Amino acid sequence: MPPLPCAELHLHIEGTLEPELIFTLADRNGITLPYADTADLAARYAFTDLQSFLDLYYSNMDVLRTEEDFTDMTRAYLRRAAQAGVRHAEIMMDPQAHLVRGIPLVTCVGGVAAALSTSEADFGVSTSLIAAFLRDRPAAEALTVLRDLIAMEAPIVGIGLDSAEVGYPPSLFAEVYDLARAEGLRCIAHAGEEGPPEYVWEALDVLRVDRLDHGIRCLEDEALVERLIADRVPLTVCPLSNVRLRAVPAIADHPLPEMLARGLNVSVHSDDPAYFGGYLDDNVAALVDAFGLSIDDRARLAANSVRSAFLGGDRRTELLAEVESWRRARHSSPAG
């Protein structure tokens, strides 16, 4: 039985760097890593919170030096994503994290874009690129980087906001999002992962986002839940990530089933799969094991992902038909 077809909408390309590739790129670029081997590196993935993850995440990025490095990283993700059933991926990258290391925009953007330009032919995955800004760096810096991306006509469809959430409310980046919308770019932002429901309100009302990343803490505010339901705001939820970063104690405690039951527009994604224990299919499998999600539940999550994507009508129709075909085939299969 083929995997559930879906769209991956919450994926940080730097978070797909597997230990093996980190060592390969380090060797290529003459970098000495502070790990004995891949097992030593993997053993450091026991995070206590978001910041403990970010410290390792940014450290490992140092192996990305050339356009070829960024292309190889992106192609490795696309290969694995296709195996997981991903048919469309909207990939975030963090240009500031590379600029501060002295890597030019043309190198990091060009390397990722080169892989995305042939993604459908090579892997059967349509793609687009989103520039995500680091909320724990100055908003003025993000604005400068966005202007540079616009000036170089970078092949991005939108912007996002990620990194350490608490203490950095979305409203700090209002000017950045105003410029993005003026340029016709789509807008997303992380909110309500570790940050409070108030951050979700700000993302909606100040940044005027098209889609919210995470949003799991919305359930703490009934008025917010009603707003999200009424407006069908997409929430890109990453269960394994939430558990690994201690935002949720265990998969069995994850709020996704309640969110789905309440009628929120939720879908499942992998966030930083190399660090959090699984790709999109692994996240779905963990939810099925914990909650016994039905075939219809899984198809609904996949359809939500497709409807929430920044896609043209024909491609969206095509992918929704694939989801429905999967649903019918699973219902007719003896294994279910």
Q: Which residues are catalytic?
A: 193
DSSP assignment of 57-70: HHHHGGG--SHHHH
Q: Is 163 left (phi over 0), alpha (psi -120 to 50) or beta?
A: left
Separation CA 45–CA 43 (nearest Å)? 5
Which DSSP state fits 270?
Answer: -
Q: Which residue in the block uniquely carries the two structure tokens 């999967």? A: 326
Count of CB atoms situated within 10 Å of the CB of 82: 17
The residues pairing with 190 across neighbouring beta strands, listed in sequence order, are 213
Contact 336, 295 (CB under 8 A): yes
* Buried/exposed code over 208-247 (b: 16+ C-beta within 10 A; e: otherwise): ebbbbbbbbbbbebeebbebbeeeebbbbbbbbbbbbbeb
